[in-house]
Amino acid sequence: MLRRCTQLRKINEGRLVCAHVLKSMFKHDRLIHNTILNMYAKCGLMDEARKLFDEMPVTDMVTWTTMITGYSQNNQSDGAVALFPQMLRMGLQPNEFTLSSLLKALGFWPSDKCGRQLHAYCLKYGYCSNLYVGSALVDMYTRHDRIDEAQSIFCLLVNKNEVSWNALIAGYSRKGEGEHALCMLQEMLRAGFEPTHFTYSSVFGALSATGSLEQGKWVHAHMIKSGGQLIEFVGNALLDMYAKSGSIEDAEKVFYRLLRRDLVSWNSLLTGYAKHGHGRECVRKFEEMLRRGIQPNDITFLCVLNACSHAGLLDEGQYYFRLMKKYNVEARVVHHVTIVDLLGRAGLLDRAKKFIEEMPIEPTAEIWGALLGACRMHKDMKLGAYAAERVFELNPNDSGPLVLLSNIYASAGRWGEVVKVRRMMQKNGVKKEPACSWVDIENKVHMFVANDDSHPHGKEIRKMWEEVSAKIKEIGYVPDTSHVLFFADKQERESRLQHHSEKLALAFALLKTPPGSTIRIKKNIRVCGDCHSAFKFASKALDREIILRDTNRFHHFHDGSCSCGDYW
């Protein structure tokens, strides 16, 4: 009966059985005690499990293993790790159950030192070939960012199953390595294993990081063919993959086809709308969610506030920020950052500063960074310099504020100040992250770096961009050289501007794709104002839809305008 209650997580009935048993002739039975411990652990009641454990007159290896497993499954790694040496001191030998549970806990440990020690123990006592221990080792190493070690343990596993494959694929997914995750899925299929919901949610998660729409569609089609159902975990990952790969339409379709919708489903859709600049749709959907009685969490509010900020919905954003209290959701630093962003983008820089000064939490580098970004947008040098100083005080290693500050000076043509900031960056060893763009052509990813002359098709690409540039200048494009960072004359600044990575990627895509097809480009940093303007004109002059994903959001360029309404 206790086992039945444990399986069904029926804790109230379990407690009744417990009370009865502990008054009966079995009250000193160790086996019964172990079963009760397991029931408490599975129901998440580790305090009660611990109380019983401390009161038990006699314990055995299973008792300790059950406690370690309980702590591990309830995300209480310290509890699991503390028990292990005590268990050894008692002279109890751990078995494969103990080791796999402890390894799971060690995946969440601050360093990999204990994990490596336990790995050595497993080797010494011959447990590494055990399926459970081996899979747990793979998982532990991937969580400590040691995917090579995980891969070699996985390769040495003679008997593999779906779980061992999933542990490795999830590892690649957490690292954002979509290509590797996909390769492993293909290998898994070749080896004759059937992917599970765990596999699909990991792979979709990995592909959402790389934004590979075609590959994502292939995996989705495979899942449908093999009869996979759209239950929450996998459906939410699929929805998110479509939203992050640039197809909000497919994300919506998945949302409506989900068998059940939980909070993550709603949050993922809202995030998708926010990233694609569908601010009003995001707000409408959020209102629908509230009408349906679904309790929002901090992530929901963050999505909605972001959407309001990006869509310029000033009043709505402030209203929803106040609404958080009504729903008992605490406003964290990130929510405050969004409000600074909201006010700042709307040009209310003084109000944004006042908001920072009056907010109940201590301002962080991110808060001042949001104000600095707004100052960049509205070319407010004085407040921008003040915000940049605050960011730099709080986070001297971040190159972001100095880059933004030098941009502010560059926009105003204050080249002397630009040089000073750049010297400061050199002095502090701060480097700007190099800008890269990627474009998928026929399932192959092509990367472009700003001002890079080494591409094999470099000449053709530049020639193509010159043609595009001439066409868009005819219909009104004027290069905005304020986005060039360094000291140079006008002609050189204009020439540098023409070699931004996203422009090179667009030129290459124009060379390699049929007329009229949609072009999808990804960028590792925020798109610059000049490229944004050039892409708008290009979408009209060339009659092409261009979808650009940058670090913050998607830009859909069509017929001379962008989905962000120039407000990003």
Partner DNA sequence: TTAGGGTTAG
Tell which positions 137-196 bind DNA, by CB under 7 A: 139, 161-164, 166-167, 170, 173-174, 196
Position 201 contacts DNA (CB under 7 A):
yes
Helix/strand/coil (H/E/C) assignment for every residue in 32-99? HHHHHHHHHHHCCCHHHHHHHHHHCCCCCHHHHHHHHHHHHHCCCHHHHHHHHHHHHHCCCCCCHHHH
Q: Please state the closest distance from residue 137 (CB atom) to DNA, in A.
A: 9
Number of residues engaging DNA in binding (CB under 7 A)? 75
Position 240 contacts DNA (CB under 7 A):
yes
One-letter amino acid at 214 equals: E
Q: By CB neighbour count within 10 A (0-12 exposed, 13-18 middle, 19+ buried), where does 384 fall?
A: buried
Phi, psi of 527 (to 5 degrees): -65, 140
Between 161 and 295, name the residue whose CB sits nearer to DNA.
161
CA distance 406 to 384: 10
Q: Please state the closest distance from residue 164 (CB atom) to DNA, in A.
A: 5
Between 6 and 539, name the residue whose CB sits nearer to DNA.
6
Q: Please state the closest distance from residue 517 (CB atom) to DNA, in A.
A: 27
Q: Please, which of residues 246-275 interact with DNA by CB under 7 A? A: 262-265, 267-268, 271, 274-275
Which region among 128-136, 284-292, 481-489, 490-498 touches DNA (by CB under 7 A)? 128-136
Strand order in the sheet with 554-558: 444-449, 436-441, 519-523, 546-549, 554-558, 561-562
CA distances from 545 to 242, 549, 555 (A): 18, 13, 10
Identify the residue whose tokens are 């290459």: 508
Between 422 and 553, name the residue whose CB sits nearer to DNA.
553
Between 36 and 538, name the residue whose CB sits nearer to DNA.
36
Q: Please, which of residues 456-495 interact with DNA by CB under 7 A? A: none
Between 343 and 506, name the residue whose CB sits nearer to DNA.
343
CA distance 215 to 377: 36
Q: Please state the closest distance from residue 528 (CB atom) to DNA, in A.
A: 19
Q: How far is CA 253 from the centre of its chain?
A: 22
Q: Please, which of residues 13-42 interact with DNA by CB under 7 A? A: 30-31, 34-35, 38, 42
Q: Taking Cα atoms as reference points, which of 526, 498, 514 lies closest to residue 437? A: 526
Q: Please state the closest distance from residue 367 (CB atom) to DNA, in A.
A: 11
Specify whether the CB–CB gap between 447 and 435 falls below 8 A: no
Q: Pattern 52-91, binding to DNA, x per CB under 7 A?
A: --------xxxx-xx--x--xx------------------
Q: Please, which of residues 332-351 interact with DNA by CB under 7 A? A: 334, 337
Residue 343 host element (H or E):
helix 333-345
CA distance 228 to 37: 36
Strand partners, 315: none
Q: Please state the closest distance from residue 405 (CB atom) to DNA, in A.
A: 19
Which region among 93-101, 250-258, 276-284, 402-410 touches DNA (by CB under 7 A)? 93-101
Position 524 contacts DNA (CB under 7 A):
no
Specify whether the CB–CB gap between 472 and 537 falls below 8 A: yes
Residue from 43, 49, 237, 509 touching DNA (CB under 7 A): that is 237
CA distance 45 to 31: 19
Between 310 and 536, name the residue whose CB sits nearer to DNA.
310
Q: Please, which of residues 291-320 interact with DNA by CB under 7 A? A: 298-299, 302-303, 306
Between 28 and 382, name the residue whose CB sits nearer to DNA.
28
| Cα dihedral 272, 278, 280, 284 sign | negative
Which region among 227-235, 353-361, 414-422, 479-487 touches DNA (by CB under 7 A)? 227-235
Between 265 and 533, name the residue whose CB sits nearer to DNA.
265
Which region among 125-133, 145-153, 411-419, 426-434 touches DNA (by CB under 7 A)? 125-133
